[in-house]
């Protein structure tokens, strides 16, 4: 004989399970089902808790790794910036003088090319020089 005391609702996600408690008269038939189901839910809750703890530990490890790499990157950038600033620094006056010298050389080369071009034009227009150049 089954005497129902109350209905127990177990919710897992969106599914709701209903089980009946029984009294001692039914000799624990429904009680065993409830016990096994409650243990199943308890085990699932433990697994979910372990998974959550594992994810939290992983997040902490990854966060620590990210922060350490960020610090290493910052120190490396500061070290490179320090090397560039002190090692390759050339005074502005020296750069101006080098720039002026390069411009002067370029102007001299252009002037020589113009003079050479004028010379060749003059040479081609002189009949005596043309005759001598043809003989040679």
Query: How do residues 14-62 score in pLDDT, each as one tens digit?
Result: 555 555 545 554 555 566 677 778 888 999 999 999 999 999 999 999 9
**Domains: count for the chain:** 2
**Whole-number pLDDT of residue 97:** 94
**Whole-number pLDDT of residue 83:** 66
Nearest to 21 by CA among 12, 8, 9: 8
**Whole-number pLDDT of residue 122:** 87
For residues 10 and 75, membership in a common domain is answered with: yes
> What is the extent of the structural domain holding 106?
92-129
Query: How do residues 73-104 score in pLDDT, each as one tens digit?
Result: 999 988 887 666 555 678 899 999 999 999 99
For residues 114 and 81, membership in a common domain is answered with: no
Do the bridges between strand 15-22 and strand 4-12 make them parallel or antiparallel, or are there none, so unpaired? antiparallel
The pTM of the full predicted model, rounded to 2 decimals, is: 0.38
Q: Tokens for 27, please give them.
A: 């000799």
């Amino acid at each position: 004989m089954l005497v129902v005391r109350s209905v127990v609702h177990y919710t897992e996600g969106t599914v709701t399970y209903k089980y009946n408690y029984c009294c001692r008269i039914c000799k624990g038939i429904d009680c065993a089902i409830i016990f096994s189901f409650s243990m199943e839910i308890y085990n699932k809750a433990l697994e979910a808790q372990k998974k959550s703890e594992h994810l939290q530990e992983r997040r902490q490890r990854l966060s620590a790794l990210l922060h350490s790499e960020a610090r290493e990157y910052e120190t490396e950038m500061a070290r490179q910036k320090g090397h560039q600033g002190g090692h390759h620094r050339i005074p502005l006056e020296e750069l101006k003088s080098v720039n002026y010298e390069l411009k002067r050389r370029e102007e001299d080369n252009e002037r020589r090319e113009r003079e050479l071009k004028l010379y060749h034009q003059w040479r081609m227009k002189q009949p005596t020089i043309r005759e001598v150049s043809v003989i040679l």
